[in-house]
Amino acid sequence: MKHTIFTGAAVALVTPFHADGTVNYEKLAELIDDQIARGTDALVIAGTTGESSTLSEAEHSDVIRFAVRHTNHRVPVIAGTGSNATHTAIMLSKEAEEAGADALLLVTPYYNKTTQEGLYQHYRAIAESVTLPIILYNVPSRTGMTIEVATAARLAEIDNIAAMKDAVGNITYTANLIEACGDKLDVYSGNDDQIVPMMALGAKGVISVLSNVLPQETHDMTAAALAGDYKTAAALQLKYLKLIHALFIETNPIPVKEAMNLIGFEVGPCRMPLYQMAEKNRAVLEAELRKHGLMK
C-alpha cells in the first residue's frame, strides 16, 4: 500500500488576477486561508482551474512557491506541473519539489497526445526525476486522450505514482480502474457531479471545483462517504447538483471565477482566450448561488 496524499476534498483553486492580468498574490493568500478555515483537506495549485495553460513558466513556479510558503504545512499542497512536453513537466516538477510541494498533479499530454507506450514513458521519466508522490490526471475531454486501465496498472507499479484524478466521466472506467489497481493507486473523483458514486466504489475523495465556493460542504460530503454514511453523502451530492452543473455551464474556470466574483471574493477575470460569461449563462449561475444563500 502506498502513502495516501489526502482523503476528502481538495480544492482545485482558482488563480486570482488583478484587472491588468497580473497574479494577485494578496488575494491568493486570502483564498488559501479561507479554504483551510472552512475545511478543505488539500490545495491544488496551478491546475486547470488555476489557468495553468496561460501562466508563464516563471509565474507557474512562483504561484506554487507562494502557495507552499503561505500554506505552511497546514494542509497538503499539490502542484499542477503537467505539460505536453516531457522536459517541461520535468522542469516544473523539480521546481515544485524544491519549493516544498507535497505532491504533483500531472495531466496527460495534450494536442500532440501520444501512444499508450509513450504515455507510460512520459510519466515514468517524470517520476524518475523527482521523489514526490504523483497524481495522474486523466481528463480526455480536455486533452484528447485517455490513460487506459492497463496503462494505469503499469504506472501504478512505479513507487511514487500514487493516485489518479479520474475525470473520465464513466463510472465503468472507474470501477475497472479500482479493480485493476487495488491499493497501488488511490483514485480521486475529478468530476463534482460524481463524487459520491465514485467514493462508493472506493475513491478516496475529490479534486473539486465546487470547493472554491462551498469548501465546507464539499468536505462534509466526502467525510460522510468516508465514514460510510452514504445517505448523508448522497443527499449533499443531490442538493448541490444543479449548482455543480451551473459551474460547468461554460468552459472551466470561466463560471467558477464568475461565481467567486459574484459572492465577493474579487478574483478577477480569466486570461484570454477564456472570456466573460454569456449573460444567459451568468443568470443561471447567479440563480443557483442565490438559492444556496451565497448571494444576497
Calpha distance 237→212 (Å, rounded): 16
Distance CA 38, CA 24 (A): 21
Annotation marks residue 2 as catalytic: no
Please, are residues 80 and 46 in contact by the beta-carbon 8 Å criterion?
A: yes
Please choose, from the candidates 274, 295, 271, the residue with its C-alpha nearest in 3D space to the C-alpha of residue 283. Answer: 295
Catalytic residue among 120, 137, 173, 188: 137
- List C-alpha distances in Å: 232 to 183, 188, 202, 223, 288: 26, 19, 17, 10, 21
Reduced to 3 states (helix: H, G, I; strand: E, B; else coil), residue 189 is: strand
Whether residue 211 contacts residue 234, with contact meaning beta carbons closer than 8 Å, is answered with no
Contact status, residue 82 vs residue 108, Cβ threshold 8 Å:
yes
Q: Is 76 helix (H, G, I), strand (E, B) or coil?
A: coil
Catalytic residue among 27, 120, 165, 173: 165
120 is catalytic: no
Query: Hey, which residues are catalytic here?
Result: 137, 165
